Each structure stands twice: as structure tokens, then as C-alpha cells.
Structure 1
Amino acid sequence: MEIRQLQCFYETAKWNSFTKAAEILYIAQPAVSIAIKKLETELGVILFHRHDRAVRLTVEGERFFVHVQKIFDQLEEARLEMAELCGLERGEVKLGLPSMMGSYYFPNIIVAFKKTYPNLRISIVEDGTKQIQASIEKDQIDLGVVILDDSTTELEAIPIINEEMVVCVPFNHPLASKGSITYEQLAKEPLVLFKEGYFQRDLVINHIQELGLIPNIAFETNQISLTKSLTRKGLGVTLFLKMVIQDDADFVPLSLTPPITLSLGLAWKKKTYLSKANEAFVDFVLHKKWI
């Protein structure tokens, strides 16, 4: 069953005329008759009563017309929806963000993007960078912020920021005046960390364990506000990207020795289709259109 056969049937049924159908479809009248005859043979039913030049639907033809009408309605809906998507009148960006980026870097981008494309939806999936990367590779999300390193070979990515990861201590902490901290010193401190799968936790634990030391984890939470509150009250020290506390007068940032600088980027799976909405978001971030 071919679309052309359905078009011939539809127009003939609509106008009760092979000749009129041929005119509308810009083909010869015998071609219309042949297409319908092939369709009847394939279906095993007679679709039209033929009386000289007049034609009308049989009972079977009337039922078939209902289905063909639905097919062409759906095709038109599909055409209109694709046109809307191309014009960015509809669509969704499903974006994976780690907590720190979601709270301190992307809000301005999201607000500016929504002002530019008010009809597009943005859904945020908050997770650790490892889980975000895995979700992209499994086609569960299209875009996400990940750490750019040797593990991202299956992804396309555009760099976003290079940011130092610093140890955050209250002003009254004994190390607050030092300006930096070694991993040996950090291993002795009680730590307030994110849960497994977040780069903040993985980085500090891996570095401490490489020295043959055991990290002292005092508390685990993925909530930045709670992490700050517990650190401020002296439960332990924590680590943030420097931008997270740049406007927070309650904390002193200490550089690690040697320092940790993270390269973060917006990533998507290689050789995969990106919707027009996702393409628009990538372009928006790439060209820093929110600034």
C-alpha cells in the first residue's frame, strides 16, 4: 500500500470522480484508475461502485475512507508540528546539571534562553557528572554538563568554564589565615561532602586515598545550602567551585596544594540527532548569548 494509491483513492472518494482526482493530483486519469484497482486487489475488496463515468463508495469503501482520512489528518499534523519545531515554536531541552552548576552558573543562562525562546520548555535533571555522562551515553537525556577529561571520548562537547575547586572554611577556622591547604591537612579535617557520583566528593576522596590516608567524612548531603550551613556551624570543611562562595562573606577559600582546576563543558552524544530546541540551546551557550 503506497501513499500515492491512498491519495488517488481519497481524492476520487472526495469528488466522486476519477477525472477530478486526476486533475488535483496532476496525473492522467487512467493512472488514477490503475492505482485504485491495485489498491482494491491488495485489500481484497471493491472500494467503488462504477457506473459509466460516475463513481461512489461501496460500504467497504466508506469504512476505508474513514481510516484514510485519519492517515492524512495525522500526516498534516506531523507536517505542522515539524514546521513548528523548525521555527522553534515547540520543543523541549532536557538538561543534566550538577548541583553547583545548576545553582550558580546556569540560572542566568536559562532565564535568558527562555526570554529568547519563550515557547520552548527546559527540564532540569540534577545529578552528579558521572551519572549525567552515563545518561547521555544511554540516550536518557540529550544534553548535560560534564567534566571534560579522557572519559568523554564518546561525547561531543563545548567548553564552558575552567574553575578552581577550593576548600571552604569558616573565618574562625585555624587554617583560615593560611591561604592554602595540603591533602594531608585536609585528610585530618572532618568533611561535609556530596554523596557518591558527584565530582566534589570523588576528587577529594581519590586524592586523599592516593596518599594512603582515610578521609574523615562527617556528613553527606547533596544540598548546597545545607552543606554551607553545616560548614558555617563548624561541623566540618567542604569543597566548592570557587564561584559558589565568591559572594559569601562567611567563608574563606583555601587553594589545595597542588590546586585542582576543573574543565566543565556542555556535552551530547556523538553522531546523534539533536532536536532544533537542543541545537538552539547549544548555540545559545556556545556564543554566550545571555551576556
Structure 2
Amino acid sequence: MDTKQLRYFQRVAHCQSFSRAAEQLHIAQPAISMSIRKLEESLDLTLFHRGDRHIRLTDEGERLLVHANTILSNLASAELEMRELKGLKQGKVRIGISSMLGSYYFPPILLAFKRRYPNLDLEVIEGGTWNLQKMIEAGQLDMGVVVSEFVTPSLETAVFLREPMLVTMSKHHTLAQQTSVTYDEFFKEELVMFKQGYFHRNVVDRLANQIGAKPHIGFETNLVPLIKSVVKQGYGISTLLGMAVADEADLVSLPFAEPIWLDLAIAWNKDRYLSQANRAFIDFLLDFFNSQTSIQPL
């Protein structure tokens, strides 16, 4: 039994005629007759009472018609859903973003994407780079925003933004009058840092190992507003991206004397199928940054 046989059977049952069914299906009558005969032989059942002028279903045929209607209806629904997914009329994007990027860089991007594809659902998960990569590898996320420097081999990436990591301090801090901060000057200060697993913390830890410094981390939090509040009060300095401090009159952000650049990338599992909806998001993200000289916060 295959779907073509079921389609022919359903049409003959509705028309109560092999000839009318053949006309509606645009095929030769002998082809329908042969298909129904093979179906009956495979089931070892008679599905139609065949008269001189009319045919009608047997009891067994009536039972099969119920199943045929259900099967063909479900198949049509599945085919429609797949076509709509291909046409981006429905689908879901699950993306992981760090708290800083999610708060300051991505709101305009996500809203613009939603306006472009109103029928696609967006699920945004906040997390550190390490945890996001693990979730992508496990299939819990479709993609995530990471720093390309720390990407595991199982992920494919596309860089969409290059940003300098800035040293952020109170405007009253002794370093605030400088034009840049050396690595030694940075590590002499008490630091307000993200927890381990977040890309800013990973960069600072790597830098400390590189120059043999021991960071004095006086405060740890993944909440960007709290980091800025603590730094404003003069209890330490931190590292943030430019947009996170763009409108903060009480904060000063300076580049390192030897600039540290972060290549922000969208990452996905190279061994898993990437849906049309997710491909649309990646293309939209890359086009968004390529077409704008700056991202305006909401």
C-alpha cells in the first residue's frame, strides 16, 4: 500500500466511478483500475462492489476510506507545513546571547528581524560563552553569539562585529585622565568582573596568564547594570563594550595601550541541520551589521 494507491482509492470512492475518477486525476482509466486491483490483492480484500453502471464500497472499503482520509489529510498538512517553513511562514529561532550583548546590542536587531519575519518565533537565552557553546553542541540551542577566539572545533562561525574591549572606570578615577591603560596599570587595580565562562572574563584571564599577573577581583557579577553601578562608586574598574557605556556620563572608558579586539561571531553546530528560519536569522544578522556604521540603542 502506498500513497498513490490511497489517492486513487479515495477518488474512486468519492466519485463512485472509475471513469470520473480518472478524469479528475487526469490519468487513463485502466491505470486506476489496475492500481485498485493491486491494492485489493495486497490486502487480500475486496474494496468495491462492482456493478454494471455504478460501484460502491464494501464494508472493508468503508473502513479503509476512514484511514485513507486521515493519512492523506495528515500528509497534506505535513507537505504544507514544510512548504511554509521553506517560505519562512513559520518556524523558531533559538539563540543564546550574553547579558551585555543581549541588553545593548541585540534588541534593535531582534526587533528588526521580527518585523521582517513576523511569523517566526524567537527564543533568546542568556548565558556565558562556555555554557552557550555546550548548549549548541547538545542541540538545546540552534545558535549563539560567541567570541571567535574561544570557539570549540565542533562549531561553525561567522564574524559579524569587531569591537575593542574598553577599560571602564569612574570619571573620578586616577586613570580617567589618560588616553589608554596599560596591562600593568589594569591589573594593579581592584577589578569588577563577569563570572568565569563569560567572554570578557575569559579575555581578562587569558591576558593575566599571558603577562604573569594575578587579578585582584573584588566583585563578580553577570549583571551589567550592577557592574556599572559598582564602578561608578569607585569600588573598582572593569571591562565593557562601547555601547554598554555610551550614555554613561559618570563613567570613562579607555582602550588598552595595546588594544584588545573582540571578534563577535554567530556560531552553530556544524554537524546539525540548520533550519531555513535559522539561516534567515544568520543572513539577517550579517546584513544588519554590514549595512550600518553603528548600532543605535533603543
Same fold (TM over 0.5): yes
Amino acid at match of 1:226: L
Q: Which residue of 1 aligns with 2:51?
A: 51
Amino acid at match of 1:69: N
Q: Which residue of 1 aligns with 2:227?
A: 227
Q: Which residue of 1 aligns with 2:116?
A: 116
| Residue 247 (structure 1) shift | 2.0
Q: Which residue of 2 aligns with 1:266?
A: 266
| Residue 70 (structure 1) shift | 1.3
Deviation string for 1:115-151 (max 9, x for gaps)?
Answer: 2222222221222223333333443323322222374
Deviation string for 1:87-142 (max 9, x for gaps)?
Answer: 43322222221222212212122222222222222221222223333333443323
Q: Which residue of 2 aligns with 1:177?
A: 177
| Residue 264 (structure 1) shift | 0.9
SS of the equivalent of 1:258 reads: coil
Say if 1:179 and 1:253, in contact at 8 Å, map to a contact too: no
Amino acid at match of 2:25: L
Could you tell me the TM-score, scaled by structure 1's length? Answer: 0.88
How many equivalent pairs are there? Answer: 291
Summarize the Cα distance change of 1:169–1:125 in structure 2 as closer, same or farther, 3 Å threshold. same
Q: Which residue of 2 aligns with 1:256?
A: 256
Deviation string for 1:22-41 (max 9, x for gaps)?
Answer: 22223332322332232233
Distance in 2 separating the partners of 1:188 and 1:287:
41
Deviation string for 1:27-65 (max 9, x for gaps)?
Answer: 332322332232233334332233345322222222221
Distance in 2 separating the partners of 1:42 and 1:229:
76
Q: Which residue of 2 aligns with 1:10?
A: 10
Distance in 1 separating the partners of 2:233 and 2:47:
82
Which moved further from structure 2: 73-82 or 145-154? 145-154
| Runs (5+) with no aligned partner, structure 1 | none
Where does 1:269-284 land on structure 2 (aligned, <5 Å)? 269-270=269-270, 273-284=273-284
Structure 1 residue runs of 4 or more that deviate by more than 6 Å after TM superposition: none
| Residue 257 (structure 1) shift | 4.0
Distance in 1 separating the partners of 2:51 and 2:194:
80
Say if 2:194 and 2:222, in contact at 8 Å, map to a contact too: yes
Q: Which residue of 2 aligns with 1:236?
A: 236
Where does 1:21-60 land on structure 2 (aligned, <5 Å)? 21-60=21-60
| Runs (5+) with no aligned partner, structure 2 | 293-298
Say if 1:184 and 1:208, in contact at 8 Å, map to a contact too: no
Say if 1:191 and 1:238, in contact at 8 Å, map to a contact too: yes
Is 2:105 aligned against 1:105?
yes
Q: Which residue of 1 aligns with 2:134?
A: 134
Amino acid at match of 2:243: M
Distance in 1 separating the partners of 2:141 and 2:252:
36
| Residue 224 (structure 1) shift | 0.9
| Residue 10 (structure 1) shift | 0.8
Q: Which residue of 1 aligns with 2:203?
A: 203
| Residue 154 (structure 1) shift | 4.4
Q: Which residue of 2 aligns with 1:81?
A: 81
Which moved further from structure 2: 63-72 or 173-182? 173-182
Summarize the Cα distance change of 1:195–1:43 in structure 2 as closer, same or farther, 3 Å threshold. farther
Give RMSD over aligned pairs: 2.5
Say if 2:98 and 2:198, in contact at 8 Å, map to a contact too: yes
SS of the equivalent of 2:175 reads: coil
Q: Which residue of 1 aligns with 2:295?
A: none
Distance in 1 separating the partners of 2:149 and 2:200:
15
SS of the equivalent of 2:239 reads: strand
Say if 2:146 and 2:199, in contact at 8 Å, map to a contact too: no
Distance in 1 separating the partners of 2:42 and 2:219:
70
